[in-house]
Structure 1
């Protein structure tokens, strides 16, 4: 089978499509024939070598976290799925390996794919959808009438977060560059701000929640826009950042929280239900596996808004 691997840290040029043996399964596992896998910023941060403490430095490494496909084999201990079922799911966030013709998973790592969405769309759901769900429902506890600012709103997590916050009854201000203005509006944002024309610091309103998905809005600057009892959420955990937020939250009513993605089957099933209920899945561009370097090069350079997906035929 084909699998995308790399044997050293670097840019997208380290990625190679190699032939590998099809993996065997244990009795509590399933073998999934992958139809599509999506691209996430975490992928290139790992193969760039930016997260060695969490990903380790043992090579070769696989790429890709979330996928959609067909159940090809079922272990004797698996109860909920059978050969031929259409599913979507995720692999270990820091080990990856979804960009392969086949992947081995546990039952808890997948959910049934809704018939109303394609494999491309299903592959785009797990990581960014679960991140948005975790931020909106758990970290920020967004509710009716809340004022929510989403910085970096035109990416995969942002476009899901807009929709989820609106479903909670919030008023959403989306901050993006010129290329993302229309898409953020289509997802339901009440106010869309072009950061090339207006500084976030000059916004007149104050917010119950600020979600920074760009990794460019410092908490020191954001807290000036927060209401007295409010929450700031950022991505990309680091030991120093986690420690700093913990001690800050002991003494301040303006909370600082950092997303630590926790993929769960419960979350996947919630996303499946949302997709059946009309959640829009912003797949912007689809590549075939032979163009994996181009795909990662364009997405990491910000040339693709929303989600990019690689298909395996």
Structure 2
């Protein structure tokens, strides 16, 4: 739990009552959770207008585990079933032994992967899927560029873009290029390189996962009706969204991920058929969650950081 806004030292482990599932909820015995930039931003107080300032605040949004109890009206998630999913909104709680979750925000865990691997999937895979499919309208043959391709969302975006038939250019540091090529990237670029597009190349989609390439800098290399998508909640992003909606054929969009059972099911099918794989950078026990946050904030994490609940 977060005992106050600040550095990783504000994270402490508390004993709290086991939550009780309400109507259309299940109680999940959490086997693994995961860390995202969202968790570190909340801990620092960046989103206190949404989280409030009543401490302690629970943390964690991804989870994988087993159904321990079902609430009234639940018929499709039996006790003992292995599940995975994520929480919406700003009130976390998955970095705990138990969490109560709406059945619309979880589904069966993909077979063939561990609980640790399953917990690394939900938030990042749904962010990538909803950004590329819903915000950018990805289609077969499109040219897609992913900035920040080696992190959690980027690693999923490279794979999902390839699944959906695009040609992928990945921007990252050179040590990650072989890794990204293995995920399916057709071309890899050093993030320090000034010329992102090849001569004559234009991108139909530019997915700015890292958040350091604003729309104005990318617009010249977008195709005539290209789309720039950001994961960042900042004023310049929303200003670009508004202005391009009114005055430009090239559009700026922002993705605000939602936990949707249908999308979790789609990710599960992709994992089970072997076309999408989770990427785990490192696994920490709950008592070392501070160290997990420190690693997340280095911005040099390949894939996801997982909290193993034991």
Q: Aligned equivalents of 1:47 and 1:79: distance in 2?
A: 36
Structure 1 residue 115 displacement after superposition: 1.8
How far the C-alpha of 1:144 sits from its partner, in A, is 1.5
Aligned pair partner of 1:199 in 175, 183, 194? 194
Aligned counterpart, 2:220: 224
SS at match of 1:17: coil
Shift of 1:240: 6.0
TM-score in terms of structure 2 length: 0.95
Map of 1:174 onto structure 2: 170
Contact 2:280 2:304 (C-alpha < 8 Å) held by counterparts: yes
Paired residues for 1:225-264 under 5 Å:
225-238=221-234, 241-264=237-260
1:128-166 Cα shifts (integer Å, max 9, x gaps)? 000010011111111121111111000111111111111
Shift of 1:243: 4.7
Conservation of the 8 A alpha-carbon contact between 1:201 and 1:221: no
Could you tell me whether the CA contact under 8 Å between 1:149 and 1:211 is conserved in 2?
yes
Structure 1 position 89, deviation (Å): 1.0
Q: Find the aligned partners of 1:66 and 1:172 in 2 and give their Cα distance.
A: 27
User: 2: CA distance between counterparts of 1:225 and 1:28?
Assistant: 47
User: Could you tell me how far 1:106 is from its partner in structure 2?
Assistant: 1.3
Contact 1:150 1:175 in 2 (8 A): yes
Match of 2:296 in 1: 299
Give the CA deviation at 1:244.
4.0
Alignment of 1:53-92 (within 5 A): 53-92=49-88
RMSD between superposed Cα atoms in Å = 1.5
Superposed counterparts of 1:46-195, under 5 Å: 46-195=42-191
In 1, Cα distance between the equivalents of 2:10 and 2:175? Answer: 29
Displacement of 1:175 after TM fit?
Answer: 0.3
Instruction: Point out the more displaced range, 252-261 or 235-244.
Output: 235-244
What pairs up with 1:249-288 in 2 under 5 angstroms?
249-278=245-274, 279-288=276-285
TM-score, normalised on structure 1? 0.94
Q: Quick one: which of 197, 210, 217 aligns to 1:214?
A: 210
For residues 223 and 94 of structure 1, the distance between their equivalents in structure 2, rounded to whole angstroms, comes to: 32
2:152–2:279 Cα contact (<8 Å) kept: yes
Give unmatched runs, 5+ long, in structure 1: none
Do the aligned partners of 1:31 and 1:102 also contact (CA within 8 Å) in 2?
yes
Assess, with a 3 A threshold, how the Cα gap between structure 1 residues 311 and 75 changes in structure 2: closer, same or farther. Answer: same
Give how far 1:63 is off: 0.9
Where structure 2 has 5 or more consecutive residues not aligned to the other structure, the ranges are none
Q: Any conservation in 1 of the 2:189–2:196 contact (CA below 8 Å)?
A: no
Give the paired residue count. Answer: 308
Q: In the alignment, what sits opposite 1:29?
A: 25
